[in-house]
Structure 1
Amino acid sequence: MTGPEFLTVLTTTDSAAKAEALARGAVEARLAACAQISAPVTSVYRWQGAIETAEEWQVLLKTTAARYGALEAHLTAAHDYDTPEILAFPVVRGSAPYLAWLADETAPGAIS
């Protein structure tokens, strides 16, 4: 199965507990079918005129293009960063059973 209707969304945060809360909240709200947390990564970035280095946890969320807007709004509201990293990458290909499961798990009104 192919199509840009499926996305992997990346965000980062500064603790394992916050990463799990973001992941769990998105899955519980059916905005993502699955979330994976990678621990820790070192981020180097410019913020307010200075070069910063920070330890962060990456959260990869699997969703559909139709649910992206709601997922972004959820992550923005739940995040404690002023400008959280929220990036979406299209899924170019995937196994049909997995993508069907992803679509079912993120369908609005789906029953648990």
Structure 2
Amino acid sequence: MERPFLVYTTFPDAETALAVGEELVRAKLAACINVIPGMRSVYAWKGAVEHGSEVVAIVKSREGLAQAVAAELKARHPYETPFILPLAIAEADPDTAAWILSETGAPG
């Protein structure tokens, strides 16, 4: 059975993350996206140390869609270089895995 996987990414605000997440869910590329507001970031960008406010987004999908999810995130993301970190899942609750697999795949 194909395994679920997660993608950790960040967005400038919750509205953007939710809009992109809804597009991924409607396209059956993701079963769910969790958006966690209130993150403060310190990061290196083009030779400078920057500070900013962001939201974390966790995309729940399946391994076979990893490249498609990354491509859609890049295409829809407002950042010049979006942070897209696929996270392989070694094990998942069978009911959770079945739900993710049933909600992703061919658009219905």
Category of TM-score, reference length = shorter chain: over 0.9
CA distance in structure 1 between the partners assigned to 2:19 and 2:30 by the alignment: 13
- Residues 25-40 of structure 1: pairs in structure 2 closer than 5 A: 25-40=23-38
Q: Does the aligned pair in 2 maintain the 1:4–1:91 contact within 8 Å? A: no
Q: How many residues align?
A: 108
Which consecutive unaligned segments of at least 5 residues does structure 2 have?
none
Greater displacement, 5-14 / 44-53: 5-14
Partners of 2:89 and 2:96 in 1: CA distance: 12
Deviation of residue 101 (structure 1)? 1.1
1:64-87 C-alpha deviation (Å, 9 max, x unpaired)? 110111111110000010100000
When the two structures are superposed, what TM-score results if normalisation uses the length of structure 2?
A: 0.93
Residue identity matched to 1:39: P
RMSD: 1.4
Structure 1 unaligned blocks of 5 or more: none
- Partner SS state of residue 25, structure 1: helix
Report runs of 4+ in structure 1 exceeding 4 Å deviation: none
